[in-house]
Amino acid sequence: MSEFEKEEKIKAGLEAKFPGAVTNALVQRKNRVWLDAAGEKLPEILAWMKAGGFNHLATVTGFDEGENLGAYYHMTDTKIIVTLKVKTPRANPSIPSVLSVFPGAVSYEKELEDMLGIKVQGLPPGRRYPLAEDFPVGQYPLRKDWKTEDYLAQQPSLKTETK
Amino acid sequence: MESILPLAYILIFPGFLFLAVYGLYLQWVDRKLCAVMQNRMGPPWIQPYADFIKLLAKEVIVPDAATNKTMFRVLPFFAMAAVMTALISIPVWTPAALFSFQGDMVVVIYLLTIPTVTFFLAGWSSSSPYSTVGSMRVLTQLFAYEVPLMLSLIGPAILAGTWNISEISAFFAAHPALIPAQLLGFLAALVALQGKLERMPFDIPHAKNEIVGGQFTEYSGRLFGFFCLAVDMELVVGAALVNAVFLGGSLGFAGAAGLAVFLGKTLFITFLLALLKVLMARIRIEQMINFCWKYLAPVAMAQVAFDIFLKYRIG
Amino acid sequence: MSKITIPFGPQHPALKEPENFMLVLEGEQITSAGINLGYNHRGMEKAAEGRTYIQNLYLIERVCGICSHSHTTTYITNVEELAKAEVPQRALAIRTLFAELERVHSHLLWLGVAGYEMGFETLFMYTWRDREQVLDCLELLSGNRVHYSINTLGGVRRDITAEQKAEVLKRIKYLEERTQYYIKLATQEPTVLARTANVGKLPYDVAIERGAVGPTARASGVARDVRKDDPYLLYAQLDFNLITHNTNDVFGRLVVRALELVESYKIINQVLNNLPEGPVAVKVPMKVAPGECVNHYEAPRGEDIHYLKSNGTDKPERLKVRAPTLANLQSVAYMLEGGWLADVPLVIAAIDPCMSCTDRAAVWNPKKGKTEVYSWEEMRKLGIEQYKRRGVDFSRL
């Protein structure tokens, strides 16, 4: 596949550097690389990629796949987006923080904690974001089993008024 | 009858009523001029009056945290009283002021400082963070513009050889050729007046994007209305002072003609102040101090030196 | 002097949208700044999972009032990539045109806001008056001033006629002249210089470290522009320059935005004068095959990135929106610290913050102050009733 030379190089480089930790690498199309990464190696992989020019963590997308929760880390060197998929078991979801590599990622990681209930290890405590302060603890709206209707039914103060 | 006339002077004309009506009118002129220069419609002439009456009808809220509630309540009236008292010594529609004496210029300058001090006290006694920062800025700014203002007023006084405002304006009315020679001092006084009135670009103490309402954040209703009125009156008195000291007051006219001259010239000064307002961005407090001490004060000093030289030449 | 903590927001005259900065002051100088967000959550990502792709288009448009086209275009690019739809060239050209008109509108708006925040109301009034020209263009082309709704699955909803083209070109010509005047004004007016130069410093390495995007990053010398780096729409065929500046301060951000306006006019002229012929939309099936993709887009404020996962139905499995302001906010705390209180509004405004873009997520927001929530159906019913009272009946539509 000489068509996507640069993308293949990045993929090969990652696979060679982190054998076992990087799996299922795929060049989806021009400028898009997808791969699965092992959670415990995440900060290390990001630091290595950052040194190699991928100095922008565009965002972190949390997901819920049923038995696994997890997050996509969208890294870019402004041209190529490399998306690292990190999975963590639903029973005890936990991902190491990447703040040591990308200090700007703090709001993305807070969002993971607040919206999906994934414990981000190493995230400094602080005011919750993005949910309101009085939002019930232990409810994670972006999980698939969380239903808006159920939440509204639980909240007596949010009784629907129809005129 | 004799006792009623001075009372009428103080309460109706040129005292409280005239000052209030004309002050609010000048506020409208200022707003309309700015609007036209900024490509807007601007308010109708009745707007400032309506605003003031509306504020009078609103509830007054005194913050629980106010350090001294009595002081909090009386400060607006202090500011207004000081401004009104200052006008009595400034000629309005006659060549001489109602109540003039040797050295009244010093008194007027001090009386015009009182509103600023009340602004500081108002902000400080409300003990809200915005007001506290605002009141500190009021004081800091006071030290920046007060000296250039005084210096620029000294020049004409030296030239006329008197500390009496009425005599100074009579002197310039008699020697109109000397008025253009005061240009530098006049401009310096205008800029310092802009700072005193806390208008753009010197509205630092109540810069709304930074500290909401500044020293007036906690003021509401009637009390706030009277503070606003005091500021508008200060504009009239400031313009009248600059007019009397630099532009020869009523130019020797009295009665209706004198009043027309007075109104015309204060409107002109308001126009200059409005021009200053729309031309510039608000500067920072430390830039304001730098500007006042580095440029404004030396300009005023130069005018004083020039006037001493002029006086020596004229004899 | 003792330290004072000043709350800057959630409600504050300098902020158009709720956000909160806690500033610790020593005299007039800021010793530390903390940012609190999340006052504006509308639960769009969750809501998107319960709506079809075409319904989501209108939901996503409402992520932001100013960059409504940015968000829909990013979203629609994702959907079309997953659906493997071939979008006609003319549709892409029209999308590019709207993207640039939107940039012009946003940058002019920013210039005005910057003028307002530095207490220069004349600049504010002038730029907003001229911004009406570009809003008129948008209204002429799409029927709407702010939410253009020009995008649809597989293309755009409206074509451009020759008269519209001539009218837009005329207005753009006027704006070009005005922009030259603003560039002169911004770079020569002494008080503007005094207020912007050396204010809100963001050095190159900090900009990289904190993930700054858009004009904020470009004013720190970071040559990052998705239009150049990963061209989408028609940008690969267009001739324009990537603007950077190396003063790292608010002045740099001002200059970058002003010069980008000029580049945008260039692009608009190129697109309008070389409009490809052909249809403006193709049909795309409602159900999208399973897959996932991520796309970014250079919104006026910086890189906007969307992630989309489809599961074979007509509704997305997961949609993630990251608006440029969220990426830039981490830099704001750095820029504020050690600065003057007087510069806070300007520094915050200099990233062109858009809080409604930034805050989206979980629940339907209770109506402010009142604890009542309207469900979608009830909202619809209310809306229909309201218009019925005014004599318009939508229920039959």
Instruction: Output the DSSP codes for B292-310.
Output: IIIIIHHHHHHHHHHHHHH
Q: Which of B204, B283, B285 sits opposite C191 (nearest CB)?
A: B283
State both tokens at A141.
């709206």
**Preferred mutation among C19, C46, C244, C359 to probe A, highest tally of A CBs within 10 A:** C46
The pLDDT mean for chain B works out to 87
Looking at this predicted complex, what is its ipTM?
0.86
Q: What is the mean pLDDT of residues C236-264?
A: 89
Task: Please tell me which residue, B160 or C65, carries the higher pLDDT value.
Answer: B160
Number of Cβ within 10 Å of residue C311's Cβ equals 16
pLDDT in tens, A110-123: 888 888 888 888 88
CB C53 within 8 Å of CB C288: yes
Question: Is the Cβ pair B133, C345 closer than 8 Å?
Answer: no
Which C residues in the span 194-213 are in contact with B, Cβ-Cβ below 8 Å?
Answer: 194-195
pLDDT at site C314 = 87
For the beta sheet containing C29-36, the strands, ordered from the edge strand earlier in sequence to the opposite edge, are C3-8, C20-26, C29-36
pLDDT at site B297 = 92
pLDDT at site C356 = 60
pLDDT in tens, B158-201: 888 888 888 888 888 888 888 888 888 999 999 999 998 888 78
State both tokens at C287.
């159900």
pLDDT at site C368 = 38
CB B14 within 8 Å of CB B98: yes
Is the CATH code 3.30.460.80 the one for domain A2-158?
Answer: yes
Max Cα-Cα span within chain C: 70
Which C residues in the span 307-366 are in contact with B, Cβ-Cβ below 8 Å?
Answer: 340-345
Q: What is the mean pLDDT of residues C64-69?
A: 83
**Domain membership of residue C251 as a residue range:** 40-323
Nearest to B243 by CA among B272, B260, B225, B266: B266
Q: Residue C124, SS3?
A: helix
State both tokens at C397.
């539509």
pLDDT at site B31 = 92
Domain boundaries, chain A: 2-158
| Residue C192: pLDDT band with limits 50, 70, 90 | confident
Question: Is the Cβ pair C372, A141 closer than 8 Å?
Answer: no
Task: Kindly give, in sequence order, each residue whose CB lies less than 8 Å from that of residue B243, ignoring residues fewer than 6 positions away.
Answer: B169, B249, B262, B265, B266, B269
Helix, strand, coil distribution of chain A in percent, nearest 5: 35, 30, 40
pLDDT higher than threshold 80 for residue C288: yes
Instruction: Output the DSSP codes for C2-24.
Output: -EEEEEE-SS-TT-SS--EEEEE
Q: Residue C320, SS3?
A: strand
The pLDDT mean for chain C works out to 83
pLDDT in tens, B1-34: 567 877 777 777 777 888 899 999 999 999 999 9
Report the distance separating Cα B162 and Cα B139, nearest Å: 30
Go through C347-377 and write b for each residue having 16 or more CB atoms within 10 A of its CB, e for each that does not.
bbbbbbbbbbbbbbbbbbebeeeeeebbeee
pLDDT higher than threshold 90 for residue B53: yes
- Whether C6 has its CB under 8 Å from any CB of chain B: the answer is yes
Q: Where are the beta strands (DSSP E) in C129-288?
A: 151-152, 155-156
**Preferred mutation among C32, C208, C320 to probe A, highest tally of A CBs within 10 A:** C320
β pairing state of A81-89 and A32-37: parallel
| Residue C373: pLDDT band with limits 50, 70, 90 | very low
pLDDT at site C366 = 36
Q: What is the mean pLDDT of residues C363-383?
A: 50
Q: What is the mean pLDDT of residues B100-116?
A: 89
pLDDT in tens, B59-89: 888 888 888 888 888 999 999 999 988 888 8
pLDDT in tens, A27-38: 888 888 888 888
CB A69 within 8 Å of CB A62: yes
Which C residues in the span 27-46 are in contact with A, Cβ-Cβ below 8 Å?
Answer: 36-38, 41, 43, 45-46
Report the distance separating Cα A16 and Cα A10, nearest Å: 10
Q: Assign residue C55 the CATH number of its domain.
A: 1.10.645.10
pLDDT higher than threshold 50 for residue A69: yes
Chain CA centroid to CA B177, Å = 26
| Residue C383: pLDDT band with limits 50, 70, 90 | low
Report which DSSP code applies to A125.
P
